[in-house]
């Protein structure tokens, strides 16, 4: 049917790169940072995370802790973590000129997770209060007590209207078929409806900070 043509074209173009095993690229953290570089030219980013603060609002110590934890879990010998941290920090240039917007939604549990040492976590939480005030960045937090229509365990990123990136334990999946992208956009919008913003989000962050201090 004619309406299926865009989906078939996307599936054909994406057949080889749709499923990327972490073990194939884990020898270099710098290379892993470059994998999604072409996606950052899109005018809009939408991120949902149930376990970590997404990269646009990460501080260097938090980035470093994530990469070291990844290396340990995947038994990687990558020794370029510091270089990779610099590359990830440099990504912020894509949001500095104001031509792109970034909407982030995280679960309240992301703020309460004790994944890393307290100093790293406090540094990250304090920066959220600063980073969320950028004019083209929106941070929504879904309270642990929220009534909600949708709940996920996976982390996904939507770049523009053409690509969804999903992070799994073993691999990264890239979705380009329009009907699947529509599902993730719908899912993101529902999650956004369960989130709080502005002063209410700041209160949740401050409570997480107080719990660690």
Beta-bridge mates of residue 27:
none
Q: Give the mean pLDDT of 162-180.
A: 87
Of 126 and 18, the structure prediction assigns the larger pLDDT to 126
pLDDT above 70: residue 47: yes
| Least confident interval from 26-30, 53-57, 169-173 | 26-30
pLDDT above 90: residue 110: yes
N-terminal to C-terminal alpha carbon distance within the chain: 60
Spell out the long-range contacts of 133-138 with Cβ–Cβ below 8 A and sequence spacing 24 or more.
134/95, 135/98, 136/95, 136/98, 136/100, 136/101, 136/102, 137/56, 137/57, 137/95, 137/101, 137/102, 137/103, 137/104, 138/101, 138/102, 138/103, 138/104, 138/197
> What integer pLDDT is reported at residue 2 of this predicted model?
45
> What integer pLDDT is reported at residue 15 of this predicted model?
40
pLDDT above 70: percentage of residues in the chain: 85
> What integer pLDDT is reported at residue 211 of this predicted model?
95
Confidence band for 22, pLDDT divided at 50, 70 and 90? low
Domains of the chain: 2-212 (3.30.870.10)
| 34-66 as b/e: b if 16+ CB within 10 A | eebeebeeeeebbbbbbebbbbbbbbbbbbbbb
pLDDT above 90: residue 20: no
Q: Give the mean pLDDT of 135-149.
A: 92
What's the chain's average pLDDT? 85
Q: Give the mean pLDDT of 26-36.
A: 68
Confidence band for 152, pLDDT divided at 50, 70 and 90? confident
pLDDT above 70: residue 204: yes
Could you tell me what percentage of the chain is helix, strand and coil, using 3-state DSSP and rounding each to the nearest 5?
50, 20, 30
> What integer pLDDT is reported at residue 19 of this predicted model?
61
pLDDT above 80: residue 198: yes
User: Following DSSP, what letter does each residue of 177-203 receive, concatenated?
Assistant: -HHHHHHHHHHHHHHHHH-B-HHHHHH
On whether the CB atoms of residues 67 and 121 are closer than 8 A, the answer is: no
Of 84 and 45, the structure prediction assigns the larger pLDDT to 45
């Amino acid at each position: 049917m004619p309406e299926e043509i865009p989906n078939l074209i996307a599936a054909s173009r994406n057949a080889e790169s749709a499923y990327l095993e972490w073990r194939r690229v884990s020898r270099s953290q710098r290379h892993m940072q470059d994998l999604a570089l072409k996606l950052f030219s899109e005018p809009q980013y939408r991120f949902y995370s149930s376990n970590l603060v997404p990269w646009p609002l990460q501080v260097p110590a938090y980035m470093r802790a994530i990469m070291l934890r990844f290396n340990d879990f995947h038994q990687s010998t990558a020794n370029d973590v510091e270089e990779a941290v610099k590359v990830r920090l440099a990504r912020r240039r894509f949001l500095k000129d104001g031509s792109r917007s970034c909407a982030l939604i995280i679960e309240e549990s992301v703020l309460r997770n004790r994944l890393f040492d307290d100093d790293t976590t406090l540094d990250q939480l304090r920066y959220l209060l600063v980073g969320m005030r950028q004019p083209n960045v929106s941070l929504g937090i879904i309270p642990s007590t929220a009534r909600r229509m949708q709940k996920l365990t996976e982390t996904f990123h939507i770049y523009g209207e053409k690509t969804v990136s999903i992070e799994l334990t073993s691999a990264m999946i890239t979705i380009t078929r329009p009907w699947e992208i529509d599902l993730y956009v719908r899912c993101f919008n529902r999650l956004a409806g369960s989130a709080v913003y502005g002063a209410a989000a700041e209160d949740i962050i401050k409570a997480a900070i107080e719990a660690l201090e």
